[in-house]
Structure formats: structure tokens, C-alpha cells
Amino acid sequence: MLFSKKKKSSELDEVLEQDRIYQQGVATVRGLIAPSAIQIESSKIHVGDTLATTIFVVAYPRYLNNNWFSPIVNIDFPMDIAMFIHPAQTHVVLKNLRKNATRLQSQINLEARGGKVRDPILESALQNVEDLRDRLQQGTERMFRFGLYITFYGADEKQLHSHKTDVMTVLEAQLVYTKTATLRTDLGFISTLPLAEDALNNGTNLNTSPLSTMFPFVSSTLSSNDGILYGINRHNNSLILFDRFKLENANMTVFSKSGGGKSYFVKLEVLRSMMFGTHVIVIDPENEYQYLCQTVGGTFINISLGSRAHLNPFELPEVPEDERPEDVFRSTIANLIGLLHIMLGSVSPEEDTVLERAIRESYAVRDIRENMDFRSIAHEDYPTMSDLKQILDNMDGGTILARRLEKYTDGIFAEFLNKPTNVEINNQMVVFNIRDLEEELRPIAMYMVLQFIWNEMRRELKKRIVVIDEAWMMMQNDDAASFVYSIAKRCRKYYTGLTTITQDISDFLSSRHGKPIVTNSSLQLLLRQSPASIDLLQETFYLTDHEKFLLLESGVGEGIFFAGPKHAAIKVIASYSEDQIITSNPEQILQNKKREM
């Protein structure tokens, strides 16, 4: 019987041993994620091929503002932050505070008996202690021992030191002082792992009010209940959802070097906005929006020397209910003079006066007066450039201007803007393509199209987005830049958002109207930039050095998105179907065409 029990015990031990050997060969999560080796040094720790070091906070200023820790949370390099909050017994704290108050009061009394002048430091310390005692006694505050630890990572010592210095500099600027966990690097590393173990055990006494300013979830967020998806917040991987029409204005400026993804972003915004009923009008100088326009069933208008589409700059818009016909008539004349400045180049003040008289007479010849109902006038009844040239020919001081205007009425550019308007833009998406125009005519065409769009905006109130691609072309001429600026200021009234896109940042911002257009835009997007333009952008948008380098190192479709007072690092993303519609990659476009064939 005894032999049988020993035999069973031996069999059990053998089974347990075999199970132990089996378990040693089973892959576990801990084994999979564990580094190959850890080497602990005095001020750093090697975790596999990565270096790590930990700092802890030792002193705070007297006052802490809300979100003061936000710059650290939003820094875009790897680090782990641990916060340990240990509640203290209120009655024990009150007992210690009473002792401190007694000591401070005694010292003040002794100095007063000795004939010394009052010490503001002692009086302030006593007042702070008494205030804290009152709040603790009333239950409006509690005391805690708070430990704040930050572990940095780097591929080498230089990068590790750079990350640590950057954070310590930001903290010290707010009078928050730290120390490195020297000779305790392993404890610091363990404390910042997701184990809820305060191995470093180095805290500071804080009451509820200053502790509440440490609330960690202060990362920049641009999510809202309405609007469209613009991209992913690179700080915290949240979604950037926004409705541009709920800001003080719906204007946007987009800056990027060539190939940075600016047109891709705008086309993606256009496509998603149209799903919510927004109407879109685009001035396209490079034929980038044609495929998108055709896909959504929009109207694609080709503006060129041989095009059948014509816009007559003399055409007057319908008068809005809150405006007078006289004001609309004068505004149109002012816009016409601006257009003629672009067409003719340098114009003297005397010539300006002649042009204004000639324009008024051009309307008068067609029996069009400034106080009539413009809706009753047909497209064919408006004057054209030929009418203006003929009147200039017969006007004192107008002969030279007529000769300079001749190439637009009788020369190679005659078909371009010397015909009655035959364009209708009743579709949800309309694209004006000016790629096939001569370089000399592009600013003129953009001005004319923008004037036509402006008239449409005033004629019928709709939720619209107007896109001006390569807007720097219009900034090269002061009259054109002034016209864009006037639209940027006034389009909010007509439920319209103006989007200006440019890659030539210096040309755009060097215009006296460039920066005002930016400041009149509630949304700004800065994508990948070149070193040549980054300093100008940093000065204009008040970027930090970290944000400056982020723009230099960003990939395609990555940058900084500004929305009102908030901004965040963004990564633009699109679904596969959206990408096939909006891509500007020549290789991808060629592959799509081959599939269609």
C-alpha cells in the first residue's frame, strides 16, 4: 500500500516536471514584448537598442495656470509620463499646519519685540498657511503627495539629451524645476511603465487647486459634433472634425511647397463638403480638378483663346435686396478699372479718369443707366471691350489707351473677353480651367472669373466654397490682390468661404494684401515647407521652433492645421475610393487610365 502511494507521488512529480518544461517553451506576451537585454547605468538605461532616462519634478511655483502642462503633453517625440497622486489624511495635515502657523506667528512676534521691521516673507507664509487650514477645515480642499515622472527615449545619447533638455527648458520657463533620477534610473523606468507602481517614490505636497491644473487630457483637439473629417491629429490620434462655416468666417489659406499635398487636401475637403450640400466653385490653373468635377457630375468650363465659353466683364449682377442699383453699378465700374489696370499695365491717374468716363459712356450707348433693373438686360445687350475701344478712339486723351487695348479687341486675344457671357453655373460643382491660357492672360482670366463668381454670390445666397488655386498669381498685381482681399472680407455675408492655395509663399505674403487675407481666414493649413520659406512662415504664424522643424520634416499631407485659436499637427487621410478620385500623382493617374482602357 505504501509502495503504491510512493509510485503515484512519483508519477505526479513527473507530470508536473513535464508540464513545467512545456510551459517554458510556450511563447507568452511578456516574452514577446520584453527587450533582448537591459543595461542600467547611473543616469540612463539601455532597453535593447534604445536609451532611456527619467526626470522627476522637485519644485513648483506659487501659482499654476490651467493647462500649463499642455506643451509637454503635445510635444511630438516619444516619452512616457506618469502621475502618482497619494491622498493624505486631513487631520494629520491640519495638525502639521497648526504647528507651522504657531512657529511662524512666534517668529513674527519675536522680531516685533526686538524692534525689527516687518518681514513680508514671514507674513505671506503665515497667510498662506492660514488660508490652507481654512479650506481644509471647510472640506473645499484636500492635500496630496504628487509625483510627476517623465521618461525620455532616444536612439543615441545626443538625441536623448536633446529631448530631455527641450522638456526641462519648457518646464523651467514656468518655474517648474526637475532633477534626473541619477542612480535610480531603473526605479524611474519602472515608475513610468503602465504598472501603477510608484517605485521612485519622490513626491511633492500639493492641495486640490494646483493639482487640478495637472489634468493630463489637454492635448490639442479640433473635434466637434458637426462638419467634415479633415484628418488625424498627430498629437493624440484623434479625429479632426470641423465645420468651417461655424467660425467667425469660413475662409481658408493653404500653404505648401510643390508636392506637399495642398491640392489633394482641398479636393478632399471639396468632395466631403459636397456630401453636405455645399456648392463649390474652383479656379483651376493646372487642370487638377477635372476628374473630380466629372466624377461628381459638375460643370467643367475651359477658358482659353479658342474656347466657346465667354465671360463679359461689363455684365452687371442682379441687385441684392439690401443694396441700391447705383452702388452695384459703381462697384462694377471700379472692378472694370481694376481689370483694365491688369490688362494695360501701368496707368496714370489722368488715364484712370479717361477710362472711367469711357466705361460710363459704353453703358450709356447701350442705354444702360445706374438706377435701372439690371435683371431685364439680356447678355447680348451689354457693352464689350470693342465698344470701350471705339469710345476711347473718339475721346480726348483716349487714343493711346485704345491702341493698348487693341490686342484684346482685334488681336490674338480678341476671342478671350470680347464676347457676351454664355456661361451658367447652376451645378453644385463648377470648375473654371485656365491651364490653356497664355501666362500673360492667366491673372486677367482669374480676375474675370472671380468677378463673375462674386456677382453670382451676390445674386443668390447659397452655402458655397470658392477655391483659388495658385493664388500667388493674383498677388503679383495690386488691383487683383485688392479684389481678392475685398472678397475675403465680404464673402461671409453671402454664406461663402474663400480658399486660397499657394506654393509661392514669398510672392503671396510680400503683397500688401497677402497678410490681411491670411488674418481674415479663420482656417489655415501649413503643409510641408522648404527651408527657403520657413522663416517667413514662422514670423507670420508665430510658430515655435518645434513647429518650424515639424513642417520641414513632414511627409506629404502632413502639417499644422489652424482653426480659430486652436491648432494641431495634422495628417490628411482619404479612403481608397476618395483617393482614386482626387489623386494628383501622375503615376497613379496613368495607372487609372490604363485600367479604364
Note whether 116 and 182 are same-domain residues.
yes
- Quote the cell numbers at residue 586: 501622375
Cα 284 to Cα 504: distance, rounded to the nearest angstrom: 16
| 56 touches 147 (CB < 8 A) | yes
pLDDT of residue 500: 92
pLDDT of residue 7: 61
Q: How confident is the model at residue 26 (pLDDT cuts 50, 70, 90)?
A: low
Q: What is the mean pLDDT of residues 399-424?
A: 81
pLDDT of residue 179: 93
Least confident range from 175-189, 205-219, 272-286, 485-499: namely: 205-219
pLDDT of residue 595: 64
Q: What is the mean pLDDT of residues 52-73?
A: 84
Q: How confident is the model at residue 51 (pLDDT cuts 50, 70, 90)?
A: very high
288 versus 114: the higher-pLDDT residue is 288
Is the pLDDT confidence value at 266 over 80?
A: yes
pLDDT of residue 192: 93
- Domains contained in the chain, number: 3
pLDDT of residue 64: 77
pLDDT of residue 182: 92
Note whether 234 and 176 are same-domain residues.
no
Q: How confident is the model at residue 265 (pLDDT cuts 50, 70, 90)?
A: very high
Cα 237 to Cα 222: distance, rounded to the nearest angstrom: 11
Exposed e or buried b per residue across 516-529, where buried means at least 16 C-beta atoms within 10 angstroms of its C-beta: ebbebbbbbbbbbb
Q: How confident is the model at residue 14 (pLDDT cuts 50, 70, 90)?
A: confident
490 versus 150: the higher-pLDDT residue is 150
Is the pLDDT confidence value at 314 over 80?
A: yes
Note whether 100 and 242 are same-domain residues.
no
The CATH number given to whatever domain includes residue 554 is 3.40.50.300
The β-bridge relationship of strands 299-302 and 429-433 is parallel
Cα 179 to Cα 256: distance, rounded to the nearest angstrom: 41
**Within a domain: 28:** no
Is the pLDDT confidence value at 218 over 70?
A: no
Residue appearing with cell numbers 533638455: 165
Is the pLDDT confidence value at 499 over 90?
A: yes
pLDDT of residue 309: 83
E strand segments, 243-384: 252-255, 279-284, 299-302
User: CA nearest 250: which of 488, 451, 429?
Assistant: 488
Bridge partner list, 471: none
Is the pLDDT confidence value at 99 over 90?
A: no
| 59 touches 204 (CB < 8 A) | yes
Give 551-585 as a 3 state SS string: HHHCCCCEEEEEECCEEEEEECCCCHHHHHHHCCC
Note whether 537 and 449 are same-domain residues.
yes
User: CA nearest 483: which of 280, 337, 266?
Assistant: 337
For residue 395, what are the CA distances in angstroms to 58, 348, 390, 554? 84, 16, 9, 59
Q: What is the mean pLDDT of residues 152-157?
A: 91
Note whether 464 and 562 are same-domain residues.
yes
E strand segments, 181-236: 204-207, 228-233
Is the pLDDT confidence value at 488 over 80?
A: yes
Check residue 277 and give left, alpha or beta (phi > 0: left; psi -120 to 50: alpha): left
Cα 482 to Cα 75: distance, rounded to the nearest angstrom: 39
Cα 502 to Cα 515: distance, rounded to the nearest angstrom: 13
Cα 500 to Cα 491: distance, rounded to the nearest angstrom: 13
Q: Which domain-ending residue is among 361, 389, 422? A: 422
Exposed e or buried b per residue across 121-135, where buried means at least 16 C-beta atoms within 10 angstroms of its C-beta: eeeebbeebeebbee
For residue 234, what are the CA distances in angstroms to 195, 542, 547, 566? 26, 20, 12, 14
358: which residues sit within 8 A by CB, 6+ positions away? 388, 391, 392, 395, 398, 401
Bridge partner list, 50: 47
pLDDT of residue 417: 78
pLDDT of residue 586: 66
Note whether 458 and 488 are same-domain residues.
yes
Note whether 457 and 510 are same-domain residues.
yes
Note whether 366 and 481 are same-domain residues.
no
**Within a domain: 1:** no
| 417 touches 385 (CB < 8 A) | yes
| 529 touches 183 (CB < 8 A) | no
Is the pLDDT confidence value at 60 over 60?
A: yes
Instruction: Please give the order of strands across the beta sheet that includes 239-242.
Output: 239-242, 228-233, 566-571, 558-563, 523-527, 252-255, 496-502, 464-468, 279-284, 429-433, 299-302
**Within a domain: 580:** yes
**Within a domain: 220:** no
pLDDT of residue 4: 58
Phi, psi of 59 (to 5 degrees): -155, 145
Q: Which domain-ending residue is among 148, 179, 212? A: 212
Residue-wise pLDDT for 505-552, tens only, equals 877 887 888 888 888 888 899 998 888 888 888 888 888 777 888 888
Is the pLDDT confidence value at 67 over 80?
A: no
> CB count, 10 Å around CB of 546?
15
Q: How confident is the model at residue 589 (pLDDT cuts 50, 70, 90)?
A: low
Is the pLDDT confidence value at 235 over 80?
A: no
E strand segments, 271-414: 279-284, 299-302
pLDDT of residue 252: 93
Is the pLDDT confidence value at 594 over 70?
A: no
- Quote the cell numbers at residue 214: 495637472
482 by Cβ neighbours in 10 Å (0-12 / 13-18 / 19+) ranks as: middle
Note whether 72 and 207 are same-domain residues.
yes
474 versus 290: the higher-pLDDT residue is 290
**Within a domain: 7:** no
Q: How confident is the model at residue 27 (pLDDT cuts 50, 70, 90)?
A: low
**Within a domain: 11:** no
Q: Which domain holds residue 110?
A: 35-212
Q: What is the mean pLDDT of residues 305-317?
A: 83
Angle at alpha carbon of residue 433, lines to 294 and 465, rounded to 5°: 75
pLDDT of residue 426: 83
Cα 429 to Cα 466: distance, rounded to the nearest angstrom: 10
The rounded percent of the chain whose pLDDT value lies above 70 is 94
- Quote the cell numbers at residue 459: 445674386
382-387: long-range contacts at Cβ-Cβ below 8 A with a sequence spacing of 24 or more?
382/312, 382/314, 382/315, 382/316, 382/420, 382/421, 383/314, 384/312, 384/314, 384/418, 384/419, 384/420, 385/313, 385/409, 385/417, 385/418, 386/410, 386/418, 387/314, 387/362
Note whether 304 and 371 are same-domain residues.
no
**Within a domain: 9:** no
**Within a domain: 365:** yes
Q: Which domain-ending residue is among 212, 239, 269? A: 212
Is the pLDDT confidence value at 71 over 80?
A: no
| 426 touches 457 (CB < 8 A) | no
Note whether 271 and 294 are same-domain residues.
yes
Least confident range from 122-136, 214-228, 430-444: namely: 214-228
Note whether 561 and 536 are same-domain residues.
yes
